[in-house]
Amino acid sequence: MELRSGDLPRMHDLLRPHDLLRLRAPADARVPEPPDWVMPALEEAPWVVVRRAAPVAGRVPVGIRGPRRDQRCAAAVDPAAILACVTPEALARARAWETAARSGHPALRALAALAPRLDATGLVWGVAGGAGFELATGRPVLREASDLDIVLRASFPLPVDALRQAAAACEAALPPVPGRAPAARVDARVDALVETPLGAFALAEFCGDGDTLLLRGAGGPRLVMRAELERPAERAEAS
């Protein structure tokens, strides 16, 4: 855990998508018309995840996770209701999967195999999605076929070589494919997202051959030309 309630002014400024927040009480998550599963889920684990959206009336946009995959609910919380924040990077630095109750889960086994390879890239990275939620809260939300969600932090100019190295590491963690070498492979799919000051994009898409990428920002997703991300400073000076 990196931030606690004593750091509230700083916490509000630094919160980013994928950060997990522990609330004082389930009722602190404001939902206009909550589905029936929301309060039981928060009572079991009073944790929410920061959403990629602009704050409204000073409140932090968050998401609530239910027991089923289709149970997700948008909400907002007052910064004063946040007791603690766990970032994806904090989980990676703490090697939280090594002491997890379900360390043998396919996604967590994939994480254990992938971690040293991601460290070798020099990129700042962390654990998100269901794996991050389970590691931070102890609540067993991962299913047998759950993906492993990874967040990579990058600034401009983009570290292209390091990102391609990370993509190769993620590819090595995919399930065995008939006719391909099975060495160092485990049974979980890795979904890596690159977070930049302009928004986030899928690592696999960036390492592909397309001229456009789907960039996810606070205002919603949009298609951008690859050149906008590879040379953003040059484009800003020219405009």
Active site (catalytic) residues: 147, 149
3-state secondary structure of 167: helix
3-state secondary structure of 154: coil
The identity of residue 70, as a single letter, is: D
3-state secondary structure of 140: coil
For 41-108, the DSSP string reads: HHHH--EEEE-SS--BTTBEEEEEE-SSTT-EEEEEE-GGGEEEEE-HHHHHHTTGGGG-TTTTSHHH
Tokens of 30: 């404001």
Contact of 156 with 232, CB cutoff 8 Å:
yes
Three-point CA angle 15, 18, 21, nearest 5°: 60
Sheet holding 3-4, edge to edge: 3-4, 82-86, 20-23, 47-50, 60-65, 72-77
Contact of 28 with 78, CB cutoff 8 Å:
yes
